Amino acid sequence: MHYCEFARSLPVGNHHRTYHDTRYGFPLDDDRDLFGRLILEINQAGLSWDTILKKEANFQKAFNHYDPETIAEYTENDIQRLLLDPGIIRNRKKIEAVIRNAGKVLELQKSHGSFRQWLQAMHPLSREEWTNLFRKTFFFTGGEIVNEFLMSTGLLPGAHLPDCPVHAASRVAGALHFSASGSNGLTHLMQVPEVRKQGLTEA
């Protein structure tokens, strides 16, 4: 089942319905929001998206509102604090990846002005090219993690089915966003969706 079909079958106000209707596939401008989305996608690995959405507010609080400068300075004491926090995913490898990736975001901000501008400078790339680039740049970013991060932020097509009521709104938002940066947003966003959101709910 495509994520659109799953989310639209749920009542208004459900966390999946809200995420699908207002956030999934829409571009993000703020570096903290972008880094936060990457953090969530990394932590979903091996788990359901339902679990991550329910813990999203806890993640934001535990990781200093996704401020890369603060997170990059985390020490072993912070790692231990996070490992004891039941509100997030207590996986040391994922936590360490988030800390190391915060440092990478800071490097991109220095070289390109922002994480967002780096993404726009690279756009558009194929799914394989994006995956290779992320693997060279970040930690704990396998193909599925990269794919979901890029689809959820409008950098790859596939977030919404063509007949989904949200599809047009997300496409227009993405086209405006990327055309403003000089990227070929319209061509990119009019491609046919190919990938389904994985791990919607717990088995």
pLDDT (tens digit, 9 = 90+) per residue, 6-16?
999 999 999 99
Polymer length of the chain: 203
Tens digits of per-residue pLDDT, 163-202?
999 998 888 887 666 666 665 544 444 443 444 455 565 5
Domain ranges of the chain: 3-8+22-189
Question: Taking a C-beta distance cutoff of 8 angstroms, is the pair 17, 11 a contact?
Answer: yes
Counts of helices then strands in the chain (DSSP H, E): 13, 0
Q: Which two tokens stand for residue 115?
A: 């994480």
Per-residue pLDDT, 53: 98
- Give 106-111's long-range contacts (Cβ < 8 A, gap of 24+): 106/68, 106/69, 106/72, 108/137, 109/31, 109/68
Tens digits of per-residue pLDDT, 100-150?
999 999 999 999 999 999 999 999 999 999 999 999 999 999 999 999 999
Q: Is the pTM of this model over 0.95?
A: no
The Cα-based distances of 197 to 4, 65, 188 in angstroms read: 9, 25, 19
The CATH code for residues 3-8+22-189 is 1.10.340.30
> Between 31-44 and 92-112, two packed helices, what is the crossing angle to 10 degrees?
150
Sign of the CA dihedral with 51 first, then 177, 166, and 131 last: negative
Tens digits of per-residue pLDDT, 36-78?
999 999 999 999 999 999 999 999 999 999 999 999 999 999 9
**Amino acid at residue number 138:** F
CA–CA gap between residue 124 and residue 126 (Å, rounded): 7
92 SS3 class: helix
